[in-house]
Structure 1
């Protein structure tokens, strides 16, 4: 099936600020694809609800935010659905394309910016396939040692795990700060969208 006929399972498309990693604070259009090959205990995405959309319908929604040309493909795990043809379509319409992936699968070669967020420390089946990305972002729960699992990157980020418990979250943030001070190759990434209370 070619890209034009294919139906994508899309959880949501929305315009907001990128809250994490290298592009934190930048306006971005998010395409959140439904479905993932992992089941992380801290996942904050509801995959039960999604709509099937063709590429032209996705593009039509993106064009509603004509002031922004930065698109983030996320999920779930976007590599389950996104192909080079789909990314070519976005490029042809002037978009810079970033992808957030759990690094277990091959990423389309024409992605502009790859954020690898390996989950091998937390789930079975999370073995890392990628060896290179633009940035690595590791969720830290103050139990598992932060690890890039051999992924070479320009930037390395450690992100506090949001447990839903304020006291535990404060402790994890404190441990993250300690980790960064002792391992200055890494930077602290906070989920700014939660701090600012935006989607």
Structure 2
């Protein structure tokens, strides 16, 4: 479904493989963001980052969108509370910060997407216990142009062997596979 992405440029984590260009963001006022989004015909918005839950005045912006009838999805690392206006939650927990997820994270998401880096079997099990979701996905990690696809598929097999009802699926960042940033 066509969607408008509203991408914020700050995060509460510092993942070495992150693809967010933190040095290349413009500051926009709430009214500038609203005007830009209103210029598109889609009534679906994906709020992403960085980490949108740490953005000041995010609730005010989301309330404006909701009052105009928008469907709101959020992409978050899952460490902060989700604003009440959100209709769909996609969380991408980071294994590098497993100690933070052990202490506190959101209890539910529509989907969990984990980028495959290190320490993965135990981290995936931790996230399954901590965050209840309809769908769980593993994505290969791309560093310096190389993607760990084989390791990701191998781990998918291991995770899914534990149950008669496999939960984990492969999720590819297609834009990276075809060279679009």
TM-score range, shorter chain: 0.7 to 0.9
Is it true that 1:87 corresponds to 2:67 in the alignment?
A: no
Residue 174 (structure 1) aligned to one of 153, 169, 173: 153
1:160 aligns with: 140
Long gaps (5+) in structure 1:
1-25
Residue 195 (structure 1) aligned to one of 174, 177, 181: 177
Q: Trace 1:22-171 onto structure 2 (pairs within 5 A).
A: 26-66=1-41, 68-81=42-55, 83-119=58-94, 121-123=95-97, 126-127=100-101, 128-141=104-117, 143-145=119-121, 146-147=124-125, 148=127, 150-166=130-146, 169-171=148-150
1:17 aligns with: none
Deviation at 1:46, TM superposition (A): 1.6
3-state SS, counterpart of residue 150 of structure 2: helix
3-state SS, counterpart of residue 42 of structure 1: coil
State how far apart, in whole Å, the 2-side matches of 1:181 and 1:122 are: 22
3-state SS, counterpart of residue 136 of structure 2: strand
State how far apart, in whole Å, the 2-side matches of 1:160 and 1:150 are: 22
Higher relative contact order (CA 8 A, sep 6+): 1
Backbone CA RMSD of aligned residues: 2.3
State how far apart, in whole Å, the 2-side matches of 1:174 and 1:106 are: 31
> Which structure features the higher share of helix residues?
2
Name the TM-score, length of structure 2 as normaliser.
0.82
3-state SS, counterpart of residue 53 of structure 1: coil
State how far apart, in whole Å, the 1-side matches of 2:2 and 2:175 are: 12
Contact 2:105 2:130 in 1 (8 A): no
Deviation at 1:136, TM superposition (A): 1.1
**How many corresponding residue pairs?**
171
Long gaps (5+) in structure 2:
none
Name the stretch that deviates more: 28-37 or 144-153.
Answer: 144-153
